[in-house]
Structure 1
Amino acid sequence: MGLLMKYIYPLPAPIRARTRPMEVLAVGLSRSGTDSLRNALIQLGYDNTYHGWELAVQPSDNIAWTQLYLKKYFGSDDGKTNITTEDFDAVLGDSIAVTDAPAAMFAKDLIAAYPDAKVILNIRPDLDAWYASTTSTFCGNMVPRSHLLLSYFDAELFWFFHGFFTTLFRKFYHGSFEKNGKWVGEEHIAMVRGLIPKDRLLEWKVEDGWEPLCEFLEKDVPQTPFPKGNTTDDLGNRLAALHRTRLARAKRNAILVGASVVGLAAMTGVGALRIF
């Protein structure tokens, strides 16, 4: 993986420094109101709230999260697997709140790294509805097979698909969301509940709206409707628009590579005929 980062699919790593403390960790899994919650937190004054959408907008963030994944599961050069505050600040340093994946997948590590931050466990009470939404999004709209193939011909596409989907997402769900998504989701909720004292934890769902969220964060309740987030179709459409240029570039590169291989094969064939 290190060679891929450095030589084959290089992208400039994000350089961020913390100037304000991390205040809110929303560690519920994707498709649990994370986009609505992000919009609500921004409206409440948490002006830089990190969300998994950043992985699509800034593909180099996938490299940073992949590095955290490698340290967590395989250890650093000195054998340490604990992810430090400084490690997280390299990608989250300019954020004062965070929600959605991949942060939720590092919930335990984030809670340890930012012990003064308040923790929100955003949930979707209907497990079957959450599972269906996640399946149609992360196992459908966001990862079409044709895009996975083309991703090998563009660094930004490569890291979007393989940094998150085929590395972090697959590892978190023990190789298969379809097989393991429900029990992993339940286990995640139980783990967060067991980690955090009640005075630092808010268990919240979108239907709860502003009041419990504002009470927990000690903010005035806005006189506006609670913001709505992405539907599955909305997310698919936003990604299609975002990837249009990247896919065009990947197709061009694939054609160039294919033409080069054909040309090389033709030259090799001519040489072989001359030899024999």
Structure 2
Amino acid sequence: MDKPKRNKPAKVLHLSMPRTGSVSMMAAYNILGLTTYHGFDFIVRPDDQVEWENAIDAKFYGKGRLFEREDFDALLGEFLSDFPMVWVMLNLLDPYVMRARPATLIVKMEYGMSNCSDRESFEINARETYRNHYEMVRRKVPKERLLEYKLGSAWDPLCGSGV
């Protein structure tokens, strides 16, 4: 079965790590007319959770085929995506809630990204995981296409970037 294709190019890739102001950025993107796919969407879309689990298993646990651009285009459609809420879930939610599928997938993804298998090693690896992620983004994104937005910088950096 053919996967649907994105019918308009993505204008923005939001590549920040969780708990770095993603709800505020989502609100700003929405004001600018960009449709966002946020962790809130992930929670209420159970079919997406299956696809995310396939992507997580392939990327971090060597199970299945790695997702390619077409797979993410089919999953995200016209959305601008980030994947927030992980630190809230890990630290604040009741352990019973953490057994729900969205929560377990987020923990699985975070443990894979942080190269760990329990909460203690996750907390130890968190800062290095963040630093490594941002270093990778800076290496891969051409400088003329990269905006490192600092919360509180108002609208100029976002609106002046051609969005």
- State the TM bucket, normalised to the shorter chain: 0.7 to 0.9
Please state which structure has a larger fraction of its residues in helix.
1
Aligned residue pairs: how many?
Answer: 156
Q: Equivalents in 2 of 1:190, 1:60: separation in Å? A: 32
> 2:89 aligned to 128, 138, 159, which one?
138
> 1:72 aligned to 27, 41, 59, which one?
59
Aligned partner of 1:92 in structure 2 is 76
Instruction: Answer whether contact 2:19 2:84 (CA < 8 A) is retained.
Output: no
TM-score, reference length from structure 1 = 0.51
Higher-Rg member (1/2): 1
Q: Give the C-alpha shift of residue 16 in structure 1.
A: 6.0
TM-score, reference length from structure 2 = 0.83
Aligned partner of 1:55 in structure 2 is 42
Q: Equivalents in 2 of 1:201, 1:90: separation in Å? A: 25
Structure 1 moving runs of 4+ over 6 Å = none
Q: Give the C-alpha shift of residue 211 in structure 1.
A: 0.7
Structure 2: gaps (5+ residues): none
Structure 1: gaps (5+ residues): 1-14, 103-133, 152-156, 220-276
Aligned partner of 1:36 in structure 2 is 24
Q: Give the C-alpha shift of residue 75 in structure 1.
A: 5.4
Instruction: Answer whether contact 1:33 1:205 (CA < 8 A) is retained.
Output: no
Q: Equivalents in 2 of 1:99, 1:214: separation in Å? A: 19
Percent identical residues: 29
Q: Equivalents in 2 of 1:177, 1:16: separation in Å? A: 36
Instruction: Answer whether contact 1:173 1:184 (CA < 8 A) is retained.
Output: yes
Aligned partner of 1:163 in structure 2 is 105
**Matched ranges for 1:215-226 at <5 A:** 215-216=160-161, 218=162
CA deviation profile, 1:77-121 (whole Å, cap 9, x unmatched): xxx53x3222102310132x223349xxxxxxxxxxxxxxxxxxx
Secondary structure of 1:62's aligned partner:
helix
Instruction: Answer whether contact 1:62 1:164 (CA < 8 A) is retained.
Output: no
The alignment status of 1:26 with 2:9, answered yes or no, reads no
> Structure 1 counterpart of 2:90, which letter?
C
